[in-house]
Amino acid sequence: MKFYKIVFLLILQVIFIPVLCWAWSGKVVGVDEGDTIEVMRDGKGEKIRLYGIDCPEIKQDFGQRAKEFTSEYVFGKIVEVEPVATDHYGRTVALVYFNNNSLNEAIIKSGFAWAYKKYSVKPRCAEWITFELEARIKKLGLWSVPNPTPPWVFRHKNKGSGSSK
């Protein structure tokens, strides 16, 4: 019977330990754009692309304001990073939390990002479309101007200009 308890405990460890270790914490040491930050991990800076959102490019209207919003929210602070994937630039794509508040959501609610419907497939992202709509109705951030250009359209028009998204 003792053997079965040990085997059971080992199986639990194999199942739950990786889940508990998946998210990690680190200090934000850089903000490249509204939706791209750098977080210290194991003594090195790791680029993090925020999952499910798309902020205006720096050279776009509100691109600098989106970067400033993100900087004010998390620069120099300890955040929790919940990785989702790695993009084709090698960046970790993640949900990021500060004081249990989602940075991804905060940027959408402030009007500095689109909810990237194509990539926002996690169940917790379902209400992001509503947050974007609320920001549009309130004319917050980039929604204060009529018909802002989505960053994916801007990047397509400016291909080859060194955009990193």
CATH (one of 3.40.50.300, 3.20.20.70, 3.40.50.20, 2.40.50.90) for 23-156: 2.40.50.90
Name the pTM for this structure. 0.82
Residue 79 sits at φ, ψ, to 5 deg, of -120, 160
Q: d(Cα 121, Cα 62) in Å, to the nearest integer?
A: 26
Confirm whether 49 is a catalytic residue: yes
Average pLDDT of the residues of the chain:
87
| Mean pLDDT to the nearest integer, 15-22 | 49
Q: What is the pLDDT of residue 120?
A: 76
Percent of the chain with pLDDT over 70: 84
Average pLDDT over residues 20-44: 93
Q: How far apart, in whole angstroms, are the C-alpha atoms of residue 93 and residue 81?
A: 9
- In the set 33, 38, 46, 49, the catalytic residue is 49
pLDDT in tens, 57-81: 999 999 999 999 999 999 999 999 9
In the structure, what pLDDT confidence band is assigned to residue 35 with cuts at 50, 70 and 90? very high
Is the predicted pLDDT of residue 14 greater than 50, yes or no? no
Cβ-contact 114, 54 below 8 angstroms? yes
Q: Residues 119-135: pLDDT tens digits?
A: 777 887 889 999 999 99
From the list 38, 91, 105, 132, the catalytic residue is 91
Task: From the candidates 57, 82, 105, 132, give the one annotated as an active-site residue.
Answer: 57
User: Is 38 marked active-site?
Assistant: no
Distance CA 10, CA 14 (A): 6
Sequence spans of domains, the chain: 23-156
What b/e string do you get for 121-150 counting C-beta neighbours within 10 Å, with b at 16 or more? Answer: eeeebeebeebbeebeeeeebbbeeeebee
Catalytic: 136? no
Instruction: Please check the confidence at residue 25 and state whether its pLDDT lies above 90.
Output: yes
Residues ≥6 apart with Cβ < 8 Å to 136: 111, 143
